[in-house]
Structure 1
Amino acid sequence: MKTVYHKSDSRGFADHGWLKSHHTFSFANYHNPDRMHFGVLRVLNDDQVDSGMGFGTHPHRDMEIISIPLEGGLEHKDSIGTTSVIRKGEIQVMSAGTGVQHSEYNKNKEELVKFLQIWIVPNKKNVEPRYDQISIKEGESLNHFQQILSPNPDDEGVWIHQNAWFNLAKFEKGNSKEYQLHDSKNGVYIFVLKGSAKVGDQNLETRDGFGIWETDSFMLEATEDSEILLMEIPMDFPKI
């Protein structure tokens, strides 16, 4: 078993006034050669967007882009004809493939938007761009792992072009559960959204990240009422 621990205050930070963003991995002006990626997890940005502000139209290509709102609502528009608003309790995925342009705005004049922006390197290039968005059935999986993403269109949650599974864990204090990896070549990056938890001997606080690989399973214990995102992804970049 191998592990890596990323304390919340060790992340990169950018303050653009209207946008405040914490970068777990190297992104834009934040460059750390020791924090380039975890397996095919390339970007994990913890963003806060002021009211009435947002990201203008910009391009992406050959990347699986996942957005998970934590507070407020974010309007998405793209070049494949999608206009949608995502809110807390939902998850959005965009396969950029051969190329797509999109914008993201907080159209609400009175509240912030807080969301996670996650980039996964796909296992296929030049796919047809696609968009999907679903509501997460909150409250149905307390003290269990709730799958919100997989490689399979027919499974629970959204799907992407990669051998990856995301789960949300909403655990009450003192509850624990074993996570079984789907693939021995995968690892899991654990990100604590709120509360605190423990994996083995490692204590994790809010916004801490913890990567674990070369193992078939591990125990996750909530040391407070917690909400935790688990991202199981291949540890090797695909040869595409």
Structure 2
Amino acid sequence: MEKIIYKAGSRGHANHGWLNTHHTFSFASYYDPNRIHFGALRVLNDDKITSGTGFPKHPHENMEIISIPLKGDLAHEDSMGNQAIIKQGDVQVMSAGTGVTHSEFNPNKDMGTEFLQIWVFPNKENIEPRYGQVHYPVEDRKNSFQMVVSPIDGGLDTWIQQDAWFHLADFDKGLEKKYELKKKDNGLFLFLLEGEIEIGGEKLQKRDGIGLLNLEEVNIKANEDAEMLLMEVPLEW
């Protein structure tokens, strides 16, 4: 098993006033030639948006975009005619395909919004754009891996055009659990949202990440109560 460590403090950072963001991979003005992507995982942004502000309309194409709110609400509007509010517990996917324009903003007047913005390279380009949004009860990830993103044939409405599986998990202190990869030759990227864990012989703390390659399974132990996102993605596609 090979490991790539991404410590929280080593991420790219930009504070635009309305947006305070950290980039695990190169994005916008942050560039590190050693941190362009992890396999098909291209973007992992940890965004905080102040009340009443957000991203104006902007285009995307040939990218699978996943948004996971951690706190507060995020209002979405796109050129496909979708208008929605996504909240904590929701997962939103958007296959940009041949091209889509959308906006995202914090509709609350007295509360910040925190969410993960994730981009994944698709395994098929120029598909018809699509939108999906599902609420996944937080209690269903207690001491368990809750699948929230799958491939097109994975049985979820929040599917993407890639052989990738995302799971959210909340572990109690002391819990040990094994994650088994769904597909041979995929890699696993774990992003720790809260707490402290041990994985692959490494200790991770809040907002640390680790990329794991050449493995079939890995054991995860929670040293503290911990919340995490696991992203299994192809290393080649």
Equivalent pair of 1:188/1:233 in contact (CA under 8 Å): yes
Instruction: Name whichever of 22-31 and 136-145 sits farther off.
Output: 136-145
The yes-or-no answer on 1:7 pairing with 2:7 is yes
SS at match of 1:59: strand
- State the 1:156 CA deviation: 4.0
When normalised by structure 2's length, the TM-score is 0.98
**Cα distance in 1 between the residues matched to 2:156 and 2:103:** 27
Q: Secondary structure at the match of 2:138?
A: coil
SS of 1:140's equivalent in the other structure is: helix
Aligned length: 237
Distance 1:129 1:40 in 2: 19
How far off its partner does 1:233 sit?
Answer: 0.1
Query: 1:200 Cα deviation (Å)?
Result: 2.6
> Residues 20-48 of structure 1: CA distance to partner in whole angstroms, max 9, x if unpaired?
10000000000000100000100000000
Distance across 1 between alignment mates of 2:200 and 2:133: 34
Say which SS state the counterpart of residue 9 (structure 1) adopts. Answer: helix
Is residue 47 of structure 1 aligned with residue 53 of structure 2?
Answer: no
Residue 211 and residue 51 in structure 1: after superposition, are their counterparts in 2 closer, same or farther (change >3 A)?
same
Counterpart of 1:60? 60
Query: Distance in 2 between the 1:151 and 1:137 partners?
Result: 20
TM-fit CA distance, 1:18? 0.5
**Residue 183 of structure 1, CA deviation:** 1.3
* CA deviation string 1:67-124 (max 9, x = no partner): 0000000000000000000010100000000000000011111000000000000000
Distance change in 2, residues 1:44/1:199 (3 Å): same
User: Does 2:167 match 1:167?
Assistant: yes
1:18 alignment counterpart: 18
Whether the aligned pair in 2 keeps the contact of 1:147 and 1:157 (CA below 8 Å) is: no
Deviations 1:167-192 (A, max 9, x none): 01110000011111011210000000
Q: 1:163, 1:233 within 8 Å by CA — same for their partners in 2?
A: yes
Q: Residues 188-207 of structure 1: matches in 2 within 5 Å?
A: 188-207=188-207
In 2, the alpha carbon distance for the partners of 1:28 and 1:169 equals: 30
CA drift at 1:64: 0.1
Letter in 1 for 2:219: M
Q: CA deviation at 1:157?
A: 5.7
Residues 59-98 of structure 1 aligned to structure 2 (within 5 Å): 59-98=59-98
> In 2, Cα distance between the equivalents of 1:52 and 1:223?
38
The within-5 A match list for 1:107-122 is 107-122=107-122
Q: Quote the Cα distance in structure 2 between the aligned partners of 1:18 and 1:98.
A: 30
Q: Deviations over 1:175-212 (max 9, x none)?
A: 01111101121000000011111103200000000010
Is the deviation greater in 36-45 or in 178-187?
178-187
TM-score, reference length from structure 1:
0.97
* Cα distance in 2 for residues equivalent to 1:157 and 1:179: 23
4+ residue runs over 3 A deviation: none
Cα pair 2:53 2:105 within 8 Å, conserved = yes
Report the identity percentage.
51
Q: Is 1:142 aligned with 2:142?
A: yes
- Name the counterpart of 1:31: 31
Distance 1:6 1:154, change over 3 A: closer
Residue pairs, 1:175-186, within 5 angstroms: 175-186=175-186
C-alpha distance in structure 1 between counterparts of 2:181 and 2:218, whole Å: 9
RMSD between aligned alpha carbons?
Answer: 0.9
Paired with 1:201 and 1:141, the residues of 2 have a C-alpha distance of 24
How far apart, CA to CA, are the structure 1 residues paired with 2:188 and 2:140?
23
In structure 1, list runs of 5 or more residues that go unmatched: none
1:119 counterpart SS class: strand
Structure 2: unaligned runs, 5 residues or longer:
none
